[in-house]
Amino acid sequence: MHIFANPTRFLRLARPLTAWLGWCGALLIALGLGWGLFFAPPDYLQGDTVRILYIHVPAAWLGMAGWAGIAVAGLMQIVWRHPLAGVAARALAVPGAVFTFVCLATGSLWGRPAWGTWWEWDGRMTSMLVLLFLYIGFIALADAERERGGEGRLAAIFGLVGAVNLPVIHYSVLWWRTLHQGQSIGLTRSSIDSSMLWPLFVAAFGFSLLFAAVVLMRMRAALARQKVEARMRRMAA
Amino acid sequence: MTHWPFIAGAYAVALIATFGLTGWSFAAMRRAEREADSLKDRR
């Protein structure tokens, strides 16, 4: 990671990678969602509603992965003072918040026909809502710190502390057995049939690639803005 | 109860949010990099 401490070296890699990740992600999303919507079988119990799975699960995974990334970037900023760690954390925050919102919205649209309710104060749903609030707090804190010329250490600490919510989300379906279904995909086996699992993997991989492309775009924008600000300061001096 | 309006709504929310975010981030990146390049040219 220290190889990319130099923004010029980082940009040399990020420029071609942004387009590749973006286009491959968009293609895989089209393939995964087309497969899930038109070719995967309906569920024997839920019928066609199960097709919401192909967007709900990738959104949940990316909402959580985004915060895990913020926590790792926070650690790198606090311990190693990596110059791009703060930029990466800020670039992860908005996409992470958007996917957390998508997870909550699609879950609500799935819950109405499946459970007969739009919302329930269930452990999994409530902890995901807390994640959305954490993202909003992080964005506000990082922006305020940046405007005051700070290094972003407060936001980094907030990112690390907020990571405590990730195991709560993951284990919520085991700790509180309420409305949300239990874990269907584990590291070694899955209770989902392969006819539904493959389009889910393709869609999740596609959304992940596009997420990475968006993060790179936001990092490139932040670095360009930093360059302009530094140049303006030098010109004014 | 037909489930398709819920499925269509969920896909609409997900796709609008995903591609809206991508377009917004791309436009912001292009604007910022163009501004940085124009300052470099002015030097």
- Per-residue pLDDT of B19-39, as tens digits, reads 999 999 999 999 999 999 888
The tokens of A154 are what? 């407060």
Structure tokens at A29: 């999303």
Instruction: Select the residue from A50, A208, A227 to test the B interface by mutation, using most B Cβ atoms within 10 A.
Output: A227
**pLDDT under 70: residue ranges of chain A:** 1-5, 187
Give the Cα separation of A105 and A200 in Å (integer).
Answer: 18
Q: With DSSP H G I counted as helix, E B as strand and the rest as coil, what are the percentages for chain A, rounded to 5?
A: 80, 0, 20
Q: What is the pLDDT of residue A40?
A: 93
What tens digit of pLDDT does each residue of A136-193 get? 999 999 999 988 887 789 999 999 999 999 999 998 888 887 788 777 777 677 778 8
**Residues of chain B contacting residue A55, judged by C-beta atoms under 8 Å apart:** 10-11, 14
Instruction: Determine the pLDDT at residue A173.
Output: 84
Cα angle A134, A152, A99; round to 5: 35
Predicted confidence at residue A169, as pLDDT, reads: 93
Please give, rounded to a whole number of angstroms, the shortest distance from the CA of B22 to a CA of chain A: 6
Which residue among A109, A213, A224 sits closest to B9, beta carbon to beta carbon?
A: A109
C-alpha of A45 from chain center: 30
Contacts of B18 in chain A (CB under 8 A): 29, 98, 102, 207, 210
- Of A106, A220, A231, nearest to B14 by CB-CB distance is A106
B33 contacts A221? CB cut-off 8 A:
yes
Establish, for the pair of chains A and B, how many residue pairs have beta carbons separated by less than 8 Å. 91
**Chain A contact present for B35, CB below 8 A:** yes
